[in-house]
Amino acid sequence: MTDLITRKRVGQLIAAAAIGAIVGFVVYTISRVTGRNLYIILGALAAAAALLVLPRYWRNVQLTQVTTTVPLLGELTFTINDDARQVAWKLYIETATRVSTQALSDQAGFMGEALASLYGLFQTTRDLLKGSRPSVPVPGAPTVEYLAVTMLNRELRPFLSKWHPRLSEWEKEHPDDPESDWPDNAACRDELRPVQANLLDFALAFARLADVRDARAAIVAPDQPGA
């Protein structure tokens, strides 16, 4: 294993030396050129660099208007760029693949796991927003960050702050009892359903911003309410 790493390292050093030699030769050659030929070479290099850099730059700065509806907030028109679309795509994946948007019947699953999944969505969303560049500000237009923070503060936070401590306290007092014996099990599941419906609306809005096609069909099973 050590020999393999050493050989790989030597190969990298040889490749780096070869590239350095080529670059040095090109720089030396250009430095020997004067007059009109020098301007021709520099112009060609500048044009090549522009062709490589500008398309990516324009993809990042070009703004697109997208209109979507979140019943909790009404119709919203966003002005977004490629960075915002990437954030929306990640938020769509996070919301669409958790219990946040998947039906949970009275007999299925465990509320402890559901609450843990929702808490994970809260943490992941916050970390994603902290690690992303802020959206380009456009007067009067909401941002993907606004949509995500609204989801956290108006849906996830109230539900988790109410039910997570209650279940945790009961589990501490009844460490050997099954979760089905928790007196608030049914009430917690009943309150989860409208939260899931609203989170589905947020997930579909993120999908719209990320230009995801047929997002509802991908999230909602054919036999699930709201399909």
**pLDDT number for residue 30:** 62
pLDDT score recorded for residue 156: 96
214 torsion bin: left (phi>0), alpha (psi -120 to 50), beta (else) = left
Which residues have CB under 8 Å from 181's CB, separation 6+?
A: 174
Q: Which pair of tokens denotes residue 157?
A: 């936070």
The pLDDT-based confidence of 75 (bands split at 50, 70, 90) is very high
- Domain boundaries of the chain, sorted by first residue: 2-58, 64-219
Q: DSSP for 156-185, please give it.
A: IHHHHHHHHHHHHHHHHH-TTS-GGG-TTH
Residue 226 falls in which region: left (phi positive, over 0), alpha (psi -120 to 50) or beta: left
- Rounded to the nearest 10 degrees, the angle between the axes of helix 144-151 and helix 185-209 is 180
Q: Bigger pLDDT: 22 or 83?
A: 83
SS3 205: helix
70-78 mean pLDDT: 92
Residue 35 clears pLDDT 50, i.e. is over it: yes
> Percentage of residues in the chain with pLDDT exceeding 70?
70
**DSSP element (H, E) containing 51:** helix 36-61
| % of the chain beyond a pLDDT of 90 | 52
Tokens of 108: 């299925």
Q: Average pLDDT of the chain?
A: 82
- The residue assigned the tokens 């009844």 is 174
Give me the mean pLDDT over the 106-122 stretch: 88
CA 163/CA 112 separation, integer angstroms: 10
Does the pTM exceed 0.75?
no
Predicted local distance difference test score (pLDDT) of residue 137: 77
Confidence class for position 135, pLDDT limits 50, 70, 90: confident
Who contacts 55 (Cβ-Cβ below 8 Å, separation ≥6)? none
Going by pLDDT thresholds of 50, 70 and 90, the confidence category of residue 54 is very low
- Between 186 and 41, residue with greater pLDDT: 186
